[in-house]
Structure 1
Amino acid sequence: METQFSAFDQADIINFLKTVVKDGQVKNDPTTLQSQSYSSKLAGDHQPAIAYVEAKSIADVQGTLKTARKFHLPVVTQNRFTSTVIGADAVNGGIILSTAAMDKILSLNVEDGYAVVEPGVINGELDKEARKHGLFYAPDPASKPFSGIGGNIGTNAGGLSGVRYGSTRDNVLGLKVVLADGRVLDLGGKTSKQAFGYNLTQLFIGSEGTLGVIVEATVKLMPLPLGKSLMGMAFFKDMPTLAKATTDLRMAGLYPSMLEAMDSNTLQAIDQFKQTTYSQAAGAALIFKIDMINDLTVPTVEKILTRYQASNVKMTSDEDEQAAIIELRQAMLLAIFTGRNAVMEDMAVPTSKLAELVAYIQQVSEETGIQIFTAGHAGDGNIHPTLTWSQDIKETPEGVTLALRKLFNKALELGGTISGEHSVGMLKNQWNNVELGADVDYLQHQVKALFDPMNLLNPKRKIN
């Protein structure tokens, strides 16, 4: 056993934290540390954090980072702790800095179409508040009812409406960020155009807490679309056929705001979970939505669906019926994850290559014997194959690892990415040099060193 002569003990660290965190709370009880340190069975072997800081002010964030510098401790920023890529689990001997309690909507400007929010504001709550004023917040990840704006920004979260309204990156105007050295940066602004300096706002979006701590955001709000919307559901013989139909719907001038796909395995899981019969219709289902419809909308949709022999087509403008269709899509994750070990992946390819990718996913499933549930945002080529295995098997099967390697390489071969919207975390950080190339990988490490020279902020995430 290695002998170490520590300059400080844990009590010294906790006591110092409590002197610099004045508005929030510092917790180090075993129950809190255990519950907030682990999110996944895939997280690997690591120890819980030594302290959990519930920050309620920018000063609390600065105090936590001051502690980290003084004692040379890693800091993992958490928001609502919904990461799917082990992006916010504890690092051995580190501090967890939660910004979830910083949850105020600071201002909502109707005339200029923006809101200024703290990072802990829940996505869906901001959207509800905006709708009271005839506006809406467009990004809508599956975690919309419970994920925070800060986490969405840190991971550049996508969502169901990304095909028309973009991801989080496209809806952020400005940020307030605390750097590892305690400086507070005001980035971007409240205008839709801004050309001064390098675009550091976008650099921090998707940086997964590795460059600084987001403590405030100015986000874009959009006017609610006029008139009625059309939502529908259609079934196809298989996922490749669905992918081809999706391309035609996207390119027909309809400007769909949702194009969501689910394969036969996913439909079977939903049927089992909700006692429905969707899987009897065909091999794959498409949920679509089009805002601000006109007289050409329905005939155009019908023509495309007929071209690809869609069956059991249902289209509606009734809000309650639309809500029921969305509920089906939202039940997908619970249906797949219930009773199984699972890892949900996140690949995106050019939409013209989606049919080839989904066909390959099925091929890999057959080759490896791993059951794969494939669903996702077909409109922007972002697909989520979920690999599953028995809960009786404690270790991740070799077939899962092999299947993932095959799928990652195929997505890259098709000109895509292996992280469309879930970010990188610890699960895929060793693939940076594969996807980005050695020169860009090295430059990313240089950027990290510039903003965080002591490597305190969320180490081992984003880049290896």
Structure 2
Amino acid sequence: MTVFRPFSNNEVLSDLQANVTDGRILTDSDTLNQFSFSKNLTDDDSGLAMAVIEAHSVKDIQGTLKTARKFHIPVVPQDQATSTVIGSDGIENSFILSTAKMNQIKEISRADSLAVVEPGVINGDLDKEVRKQGMFYAPDPGSKPISGIGGNVNTNAGGMSTVKYGATKDNVLGVKVVLADGREIKLGGRTLKQAFGYDLTQLIVGSEGTLGIVTEVTVKLLPIPLGTPVMGLAFFDNMTELSKAVAAIRISGVYPTMLEALDSNTVIALDKYEGTHYASDNGAMLIFKLDNGTQEAMDVINKLLNDHNADHIQVTQDATEQAALEKLRQDMLPAIFTGNQHIMEDMAVPLSQLAPLMDYIQDLSKELGVKIYTAGHAGDGNVHPSIVWPESVKETPDTVIIALQKMFKKTLELGGTISGEHAVGMLKNQWNNAELGEDVDQLQHQIKDLFDPMNVLNPKRKID
């Protein structure tokens, strides 16, 4: 069918140029391809953008939205583009609005225990800067060295330290947001408590850019704990036994800052990738960390590990050795994915259901004959089963899709969520009714309509 458009791309871009005066508008094919398609994820529902707007100011964001409203152009917010769920890939003939260059740390207040930053500030860079003043920024996603605070806010990023310090939502005090109609509003503030009005700050956190464009974030800082950090390893026959030990440690009162689990398949892959020999120790590996390894705390840890049949327990206070253990966990993905096609998932269950989920994943792998590597943040019930298949097989095998569907359904059956920390994007946006229920699913769409009645902000991401 012939479609008669009332405007050309050149007219749209001319209007955009008039409205974006501080930043850059990029339309060359190399840039459009680079920003439209993530390295590991392309999909029929992503496409080549019309333009990439490199915003340098709030005015650029407002100008972009002005043109988008006028011509009904989808706007895809993008920070450092580390999304794993097709949350910031291009949409055909969309504007990709990048805030990566809005990367100034505006304020660090030790007295108020907070920092005020632009969205493009890298998580790890902020942490390094505030540590110079005896503070630290707690959220520690696996992408800490490369992900931006704005993206962390949009996805409610979690990570290894969530077990003690919470996810991004637990560390955000306030945000500034440009709404779809161009207004910049301030939500939350600088106080550690705030009970006035509806909590719109937390509505924005995790909204994946579908309700507004984050322009500023006020985050909570914490003082660097006293004492000597301790890290350790322990090995178990399987992930089920490891999960039981984690549940016991989690409620013991020692407050670990890290409880990371890697199954035997992952440990074998890491040995091959790193040239280590951990797989010979036993099956599943637990990496744990305490901010302050007092003798009393270590006695509790050792007793609980021994009670749950842990082997080859190793503990270190050496900073270099601890860094090597953290790198081991961070290298999990390249160790698994190198030379393979893959899908990494992100489910979370109540702690009491972690062991049953681990049992189910192991049984499912055998039942369907698929290779599943399971690791994750066991201390908060968040697991990342990764399914791999030969690189030569370009189409996702049916058994992989069936495995994912079954894992999702089992997770919901156990009272969990199918998105613990990676957000929803395009990959899981059709599961809203299954996880949230019909009434809440409808309410989600009503909220979207209120904030963005023209549906220009990241359409079909987060909710279908």
* TM superposition score category, shorter chain reference: over 0.9
Give the superposition deviation at 1:114.
0.2
Letter in 1 for 2:216: E
Alignment-derived partner of residue 400 in structure 1: 400
> How far apart, CA to CA, are the structure 2 residues paired with 1:50 and 1:73?
9
Letter in 2 for 1:456: V
Alignment-derived partner of residue 16 in structure 1: 15
Q: Is 1:257–1:288's contact at 8 Å kept on the other side of the alignment?
A: yes
Q: How does 1:238-253 map to 2 (within 5 A)?
A: 238-253=238-253
> How far apart, CA to CA, are the structure 1 residues paired with 2:41 and 2:99?
24
Q: What count of residue pairs does the alignment treat as equivalent?
A: 463
> How far apart, CA to CA, are the structure 1 residues paired with 2:46 and 2:205?
27
2:138 aligned with 1:163:
no
Q: How does 1:139-218 map to 2 (within 5 A)?
A: 139-218=139-218
> How far apart, CA to CA, are the structure 1 residues paired with 2:46 and 2:74?
13
User: Aligned in 2, Cα 1:245/1:203: closer, same or farther, shift over 3 Å?
Assistant: same
Letter in 1 for 2:21: K
Q: Is 2:37–2:47's contact at 8 Å kept on the other side of the alignment?
A: no
User: Aligned in 2, Cα 1:46/1:223: closer, same or farther, shift over 3 Å?
Assistant: closer
Letter in 2 for 1:51: A
Give the superposition deviation at 1:47.
2.8
| 1:102-123, Cα deviation, whole Å (9 max, x unpaired) | 0000000011100000000000
Letter in 2 for 1:175: V
Q: Please, which moves more after superposition, 149-158 or 303-312?
A: 303-312
> How far apart, CA to CA, are the structure 2 residues paired with 1:321 and 1:45?
44
Alignment-derived partner of residue 362 in structure 2: 362
> How far apart, CA to CA, are the structure 2 residues paired with 1:322 and 1:363?
34
Q: Is 1:263–1:373's contact at 8 Å kept on the other side of the alignment?
A: yes
> How far apart, CA to CA, are the structure 2 residues paired with 1:163 and 1:282?
25
> How far apart, CA to CA, are the structure 2 residues paired with 1:250 and 1:101?
40
SS in 2 for 1:256: coil
SS in 1 for 2:175: strand
> How far apart, CA to CA, are the structure 1 residues paired with 2:202 and 2:45?
33
| 1:77-131, Cα deviation, whole Å (9 max, x unpaired) | 0000000111001111111000000000000001110000000000000000010
> How far apart, CA to CA, are the structure 1 residues paired with 2:45 and 2:58?
32
Give the superposition deviation at 1:44.
2.4
Q: Is 1:20–1:64's contact at 8 Å kept on the other side of the alignment?
A: yes
Q: Is 1:426–1:462's contact at 8 Å kept on the other side of the alignment?
A: yes
Q: Please, which moves more after superposition, 60-69 or 364-373?
A: 364-373
Letter in 2 for 1:339: G
2:392 aligned with 1:386:
no
SS in 1 for 2:295: coil
Give the superposition deviation at 1:368.
1.3
> How far apart, CA to CA, are the structure 1 residues paired with 2:372 and 2:382?
16
> How far apart, CA to CA, are the structure 2 residues paired with 1:308 and 1:42?
43
| 1:52-91, Cα deviation, whole Å (9 max, x unpaired) | 0000100000000001001110000000000011100111
> How far apart, CA to CA, are the structure 1 residues paired with 2:340 and 2:231?
31
Q: Is 2:349–2:417's contact at 8 Å kept on the other side of the alignment?
A: yes
Alignment-derived partner of residue 96 in structure 1: 96
| 1:425-456, Cα deviation, whole Å (9 max, x unpaired) | 00000000000000000000000000000000
SS in 2 for 1:383: strand
> How far apart, CA to CA, are the structure 2 residues paired with 1:320 and 1:188?
39
Give the superposition deviation at 1:281.
1.2
Q: Is 2:21–2:60's contact at 8 Å kept on the other side of the alignment?
A: yes
Give the superposition deviation at 1:295.
2.5
Q: Please, which moves more after superposition, 115-124 or 19-28?
A: 19-28
> How far apart, CA to CA, are the structure 1 residues paired with 2:416 and 2:225?
32
Unaligned stretches of 5+ residues in structure 1: none
Q: Is 1:43–1:89's contact at 8 Å kept on the other side of the alignment?
A: no
> How far apart, CA to CA, are the structure 2 residues paired with 1:358 and 1:227?
35
> How far apart, CA to CA, are the structure 2 residues paired with 1:287 and 1:45?
38
SS in 2 for 1:296: helix
> How far apart, CA to CA, are the structure 2 residues paired with 1:154 and 1:65?
18
SS in 2 for 1:446: helix
Give the superposition deviation at 1:234.
0.6
TM-score by length of 1: 0.99
> How far apart, CA to CA, are the structure 1 residues paired with 2:414 and 2:454?
37
| 1:147-202, Cα deviation, whole Å (9 max, x unpaired) | 00000000000010000000000000000000000001100000011111100000
> How far apart, CA to CA, are the structure 1 residues paired with 2:296 and 2:24?
57
Give the superposition deviation at 1:292.
2.2
Q: Is 1:139–1:165's contact at 8 Å kept on the other side of the alignment?
A: yes
Alignment-derived partner of residue 309 in structure 1: 309
Give the superposition deviation at 1:251.
1.1
2:63 aligned with 1:63:
yes
Q: Is 1:172–1:220's contact at 8 Å kept on the other side of the alignment?
A: yes
Q: How does 1:310-329 map to 2 (within 5 A)?
A: 310-329=310-329
Unaligned stretches of 5+ residues in structure 2: none
Alignment-derived partner of residue 29 in structure 1: 28
User: Aligned in 2, Cα 1:166/1:10: closer, same or farther, shift over 3 Å?
Assistant: same
> How far apart, CA to CA, are the structure 1 residues paired with 2:120 and 2:233?
34
Alignment-derived partner of residue 266 in structure 1: 266
Alignment RMSD (CA, Å)? 0.9
Alignment-derived partner of residue 462 in structure 1: 462
Letter in 2 for 1:3: T
